[in-house]
Amino acid sequence: MTGARTGARVARPRHPGTTERPVSTQSVDQVQCGDRTYDLRRLRPTDRDDIVSLASALPEIDLQFLRSDLTDPDVVEGWIHDADTGSRFTTLAHYEGELVGYGSLNLRGLHWMSHLGEIRVIIAEAHRRCGLGHVLTERVFETARELGLLKLVAQMTREQIGARRVFERLGFSPEALLTDWVIDRSGRTRDMMIMSYDLGAGKRSRT
Ligand X SMILES: CC(C)(COP(=O)(O)OP(=O)(O)OC[C@H]1O[C@@H](n2cnc3c(N)ncnc32)[C@H](O)[C@@H]1OP(=O)(O)O)[C@@H](O)C(=O)NCCC(=O)NCCS
Identify the residue among 15, 128, 158, 203 touching ligand X (CB under 6 A).
128
Whichever of 12 and 69 has its CB closer to ligand X, that residue is: 69
Pairwise CA distance, residues 204 & 5, whole Å = 11
Stretch that binds ligand X, among 89-97, 105-113, 119-127, 191-199 (CB under 6 A): 119-127
Residue 163 as a binder of ligand X (CB under 6 A): the answer is yes
- The per-residue DSSP string of 107-142 comes to E-SSGGGTTEEEEEEEE-GGGTTSSHHHHHHHHHHH
Please give the residues from 41 up to 100 whose contact with ligand X meets the rule CB under 6 A. Answer: 62
Residue 123 as a binder of ligand X (CB under 6 A): the answer is yes
Q: What are phi and psi of 162, to 5 degrees?
A: -60, -45
Q: How many residues touch ligand X (CB under 6 A)? A: 20
Q: Are 42 and 91 in contact (CB under 8 A)?
A: yes
Cβ at position 46, least distance to ligand X in Å: 23
Identify the residue among 99, 153, 166, 195 touching ligand X (CB under 6 A).
166
Residue 130 as a binder of ligand X (CB under 6 A): the answer is yes
Q: Are 140 and 150 in contact (CB under 8 A)?
A: no
Give CA 195 to chain center in angstroms.
12
Stretch that binds ligand X, among 13-21, 48-56, 88-96, 163-171 (CB under 6 A): 163-171
Indicate the helix (H) or strand (E) that contains 49.
helix 48-56
Residue 160 as a binder of ligand X (CB under 6 A): the answer is yes
Identify the residue among 87, 113, 138, 162 touching ligand X (CB under 6 A).
162
Identify the residue among 12, 145, 165, 204 touching ligand X (CB under 6 A).
165
Q: Torsion angle of alpha carbons 56, 196, 38, 75, nearest 10°? A: 30
**What angle do helix axes 48-56 and 73-85 make, rounded to 10 degrees?**
130
Contacting positions for ligand X (CB under 6 A): 62, 120-123, 128-134, 154, 156, 160, 162-163, 165-166, 169
